């Protein structure tokens, strides 16, 4: 065990694209658990696009970080000291904690992890919040029916890759947008997507969609926004559903982005466009976690993580999300 | 009875804002009804914003007009010759017909009009398609709850004025956008709107909304689009609903209009934005017509029509929709 605890704090609000100036690594003493708490040695921590929103000083769905506050998010790790009857030393748990070597978590706020179903990083991805987001967003907001076409942006990301596979399990044609040939190949060769479009290698997304989605798009699961969404909206079918899960193309915008107006397109299609936040389904998380674990165990749901080594590199791992460095879930390995 | 039938035909596809070049008045012989049809002397004809869409050569929810085809829409008139057992001479009916002195209509496709409930023009407005659009659009797409705030654009138009009143009947706070002080006064003084904003007299719609909708907007019924909608979207509350009924600000656009992107705003609010077409509720038209007539008869629902005199002036009446000439429903009186 280390003598001190390294912990990343939020050092400066970024203007536009964040850089290393926004982060500072501090040395602190290892925290001690109080009654009902556990001390966890972090094995893996999660970096997620939504965290960019917490760097703004405007109220949104996730509480803004104060400058000086710890960077935090989902972590998975091992209980090394327990002041709770619910967990003992050696248990693996997941919860919300700091980007740090050690975190103290309330025993009520963590969930046990079963390493026999999947390796630990999967509990930050397909078996964690991104997987549940895909599950509820696709099934409850997208409501796909067998034979329909589902389009997904950010398809090779933590959420998108699960969305596409659940859509396939529901008998849909699935089209993904991703940013490299390697990602595109993973989607079609390993995950069973019917088509995938490398948007960095395509001039005209509408033309690409004509081949990839010849019957139009019934469900669009949007993680990205921008020109990809503009193109998909022109291909929406009658009574299409759009689940707006993320808009990573716009997270670093400092002014309100502009683009083609979409409301006029909604009348003829009677499409429904709906914002999605997984927290709204909190009372059904167990259902999702059980189903996702079942699919992973049976091999119906593949998952993949891009692992950045070392707590030192957590900011790089986060910044890499915006350049699309990750295939599948981006995680940081903090300790073995 | 006239010896010939005057009939407006679609003469030329407009580029941008239509002018008189798009219309030609032709003299034809008075048509004769076949078995199952009625000959109707048109008393009033309806001009509606959606007709602009039919002037394009692109497929949309309403069939495009061919050049040379008759202009057509909702009409109300008197049966002057009947080849159907369902109607006799002197009956007042409403249906879809040409902009003409006389039209032949299938008896199955017309509905009887009860002039004791309201004057005939109301059957093209609050008791016609616009009223039913307001009814289903607000109640089924907007789903307002008592105490919520409902915002309406094009609030002094045929649809908007009914939307606002139904919202008041449902216990909502109602805010309307309209284009003149006269309209604004009608909304607040006669129709019971809680607030109305003259958008032609307001620099900053967001600031105006802060006063008019201090608790934000739960339901937005959009007939207009453009900057009014941009402002309302910034005031949407958690779980807000947006019914996109019309986008008259954009109907004369020749290229895809641009504006602030709205998808990023939907995540934090989880707002639902849905296109609306009244035809989707065709199997419930009787329910709506009965309810609307009941409200009109009881005085709970006011209606108003702007009447342009003479078939000659039908194109002017239509073009006037785009400059906001009408208060309430714009109709043309074809005969006494």
Report, as an integer, the average pLDDT of A102-120.
96
Of B61, B229, B266, the CB nearest to A267: B61
Residues of B in contact with A222 (CB under 8 A): 263
Which residues are CB-neighbours of A332 under 8 A, at least 6 positions away? Answer: A44, A45, A46, A47, A99, A307, A308, A309, A310, A311, A313, A314, A317
Contacts of B60 in chain A (CB under 8 A): 268
- Mean pLDDT, residues A99-115 taken together: 97
Closest-CA distance of chain A to residue B61, Å? 5
Shortest Cα–Cα distance, B1 to chain A (Å): 41
Measured CA to CA, the distance from residue B177 to residue B179 in angstroms comes to 7
pLDDT higher than threshold 90 for residue B280: yes
Q: What is the pLDDT, as a whole number, of residue B11? A: 97
Concatenated DSSP letters for B165-183? HHHHHTT-EEEEEESSHHH
For B7, how many CA atoms within 13 A lie in the half-sphere containing its CB? Answer: 21
Query: Which residue in chain A has the smallest CA separation from B227?
Result: A261
Cα separation, B174 vs A80, whole angstroms: 58
Q: How confident is the model at residue B62 (pLDDT cuts 50, 70, 90)?
A: confident
The whole-angstrom distance between A258's CA and the closest CA on chain B is: 4
CB contact under 8 A, B61 and A268: yes
Question: Alpha-carbon torsion A105, A110, A113, A119, what sign?
Answer: negative
What confidence score (pLDDT) does residue B153 get?
98
The residues of chain A that CATH labels 3.40.50.720 are 129-279
Which pLDDT tens digit goes with each residue over A184-235?
Answer: 999 999 999 999 999 999 989 999 999 999 999 999 999 999 999 999 999 9
Q: Tokens representing A257?
A: 């982005």
Which chain B residue's Cα is nearest to A225?
Answer: B263
A98: confidence class by pLDDT, cuts 50, 70, 90: very high
Q: Which residues of A touch B280 (CB under 8 A)?
A: 270
pLDDT for the residue A59: 79
d(CA B213, CA B235): 8
Inform me whether the pLDDT recorded for A1 exceeds 80: no
Choose among B61, B259, B263: nearest Cβ to A258: B259
Using the beta-carbon criterion (under 8 Å), do B263 and A244 form an inter-chain contact? yes
Give the tens place of pLDDT for each residue, A72-87: 999 999 999 999 999 9
Of B229, B250, B267, the CB nearest to A244: B267
- Whether B311 has a pLDDT exceeding 90, the answer reads yes
- The string of pLDDT tens digits covering residues B126-180 is 999 999 999 999 999 999 999 999 999 999 999 999 999 999 999 999 999 999 9
* CB–CB contact A274 B275 (8 Å): no
Q: Identify the helix (H) or strand (E) that includes residue B332.
A: strand B329-333
Q: How many residue contacts between A and B have a Cβ separation below 8 Å? A: 105
Give the nearest partner residue to A272 out of B257, B269, B272, using CB atoms. B272
Residue B41, pLDDT > 80, answer: yes
> Does the distance separating the beta carbons of A267 and B247 come in below 8 Å?
yes
Nearest residue, CB atoms, B259 vs list A60, A261, A268: A261
Contact B246 A267 (CB under 8 A): yes
pLDDT at B2: 74
Q: What is residue B87's predicted lDDT score, i.e. its pLDDT?
A: 98
Name the residue among A138, A99, A166 with its Cα closest to residue A303.
Answer: A166
**Residues on chain A touching B257 (C-beta within 8 angstroms):** 260-261, 264
| Chain-chain contact of A280 with B270 (C-beta, under 8 angstroms) | yes
* A310: alpha, beta or left? (left if phi > 0; alpha if psi -120 to 50): left
Contact B261 A264 (CB under 8 A): no
- Rounded mean pLDDT of chain A? 96
Q: Which of B265, B267, B278 is the best substitution to test chain A (most A C-beta atoms within 10 A)?
A: B267
pLDDT at B276 over 90: yes
Tokens describing residue A326: 């990750």
pLDDT number for residue A62: 84
* Residue with the two structure tokens 């004369």: B252
* Backbone phi, psi, residue A166, to 5°: -65, -35
Average pLDDT of the residues in A126-145: 98
Helices vs. strands in chain B: H and E counts, helices first: 9, 16
**Cα(B256)–Cα(A262) distance, integer angstroms:** 9
Selected for mutation to probe chain B from A252, A263, A264, A269 (highest B CB count within 10 Å) is: A263
Taken as a whole, chain A contains a residue count of 336
Q: How far is B66 from chain A (nearest CA, A)?
A: 19
3-state secondary structure B280-309: HHHHHHHHHHHHHHHHHHHCCCCCCEEEEE
Beta bridge partners of B93: B77, B112
Please name the residues in contact with A291: beta carbons below 8 A apart, sequence gap of 6 or more.
A135
> If residue B111 lies in a helix (H) or strand (E), which one and from where to where?
strand B111-112
Mean pLDDT value across residues A141-163: 98
Containing B76, the helix (H) or strand (E) segment is strand B72-82
pLDDT of residue A64: 94
Q: Which residue does chain A place closest to B251, by CA atoms? A: A264
Percent of chain B with pLDDT over 90: 96
Q: DSSP for B222-258?
A: ESS-HHHHHHHHTTEEEEEEEEE---GGGTT-SS--E
End-to-end CA separation in angstroms for chain A: 12
pLDDT for residue B60: 80
Residues in chain B closer than 8 A to A256 (CB atoms): 260-261
Q: Check: CB of residue B163 under 8 Å from CB of residue B222.
A: no
Confidence of residue B61 (pLDDT cuts 50, 70, 90): confident
Q: Do B267 and A260 touch (CB under 8 A)?
A: no
Task: Give the N- to C-terminal CA distance of chain B in Å, as an integer.
Answer: 12
**Chain B residues touching residue A275 (CB < 8 angstroms):** 265-272
Half-sphere exposure at residue A329, Cβ-oriented, CA atoms within 13 angstroms: 29
* Pick from B222, B261, B267: CB nearest A277: B267
Instruction: Tell me which chain A residue has its CA closest to the CA of residue B280.
Output: A270
Yes or no: say if B171 and B304 are a contact pair by the CB < 8 Å rule.
no
Mean pLDDT of B264-276: 96
What local confidence, expressed as pLDDT, does residue B320 receive?
95
Q: Where in chain A is the domain with CATH 3.90.180.10?
A: 4-125+304-333
Question: Are the beta carbons of A275 and B277 separated by less than 8 Å?
Answer: no
Model confidence pLDDT, tens digit, residues A31-68: 999 999 999 999 999 999 999 999 999 878 888 999 99
Each residue's pLDDT tens digit, B245-262: 999 999 999 899 999 999
Q: Under CATH, what is the fold of the domain B129-279?
A: Rossmann fold (3.40.50)
Could you say which DSSP state residue B100 is in? B
Give me the architecture of the B4-125+303-333 domain, per CATH: Alpha-Beta Complex (3.90)
* Strands B173-178, B272-275: pairing kind: unpaired
Mean pLDDT throughout B275-290? 96
pLDDT for position B142? 98
Give the span between the Cα atoms of A84 and A92, in whole angstroms.
14
Q: Which two tokens stand for residue B12?
A: 């030329």
Answer CATH for A4-125+304-333 from 3.30.1520.10, 3.30.420.40, 1.10.240.10, 3.90.180.10: 3.90.180.10
Q: What is the pLDDT of residue B1?
A: 73
Residues B4-34: pLDDT tens digits? 999 999 999 999 999 999 999 999 999 999 9
pLDDT at B273 over 90: yes
Average pLDDT estimate for B188-214: 96
């Amino acid at each position: 065990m280390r003598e001190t605890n390294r912990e990343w704090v939020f050092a400066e609000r970024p203007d536009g694209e964040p850089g290393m100036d926004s982060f500072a690594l501090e040395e602190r003493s290892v925290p001690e658990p109080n009654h009902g708490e556990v001390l966890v040695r972090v094995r893996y921590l999660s970096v997620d696009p939504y965290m960019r929103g917490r760097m703004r000083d405007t109220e949104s769905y996730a509480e803004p970080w104060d400058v000086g506050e710890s960077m935090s998010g989902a972590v998975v790790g091992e209980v090394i000291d327990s002041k709770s009857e619910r967990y003992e030393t050696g248990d693996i748990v997941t919860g919300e904690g700091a980007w740090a070597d050690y975190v103290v978590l309330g025993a009520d706020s963590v969930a046990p992890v079963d390493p026999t179903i999947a390796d630990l990083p999967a509990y930050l991805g397909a078996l964690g919040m991104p997987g549940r987001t895909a599950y509820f967003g696709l099934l409850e907001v997208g409501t796909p029916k067998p034979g329909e076409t589902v389009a997904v942006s950010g398809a090779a990301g933590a959420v998108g890759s699960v969305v596409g596979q659940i859509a396939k399990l529901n008998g849909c044609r699935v089209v993904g947008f991703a940013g490299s040939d390697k990602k595109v190949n993973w989607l079609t060769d390993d995950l069973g997507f019917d088509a995938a479009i490398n948007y960095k290698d395509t001039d005209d997304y509408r033309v690409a969609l004509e081949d990839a989605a010849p019957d139009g798009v019934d469900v669009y699961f949007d993680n990205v926004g921008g020109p990809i969404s503009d193109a998909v909206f022109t291909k929406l079918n009658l009574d299409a559903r759009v689940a707006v899960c993320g808009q990573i193309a716009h997270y670093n915008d400092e002014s309100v982005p502009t683009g083609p107006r979409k409301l006029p397109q909604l009348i003829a299609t009677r499409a429904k466009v709906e914002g999605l936040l997984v927290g709204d389904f909190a009372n059904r998380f167990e259902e999702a976690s059980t189903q996702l674990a079942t699919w992973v165990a049976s091999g119906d749901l593949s998952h993949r993580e891009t692992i950045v080594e070392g707590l030192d590199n957590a900011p790089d791992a986060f910044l890499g999300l915006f350049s699309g460095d990750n295939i599948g879930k981006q995680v940081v390995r903090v300790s073995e």
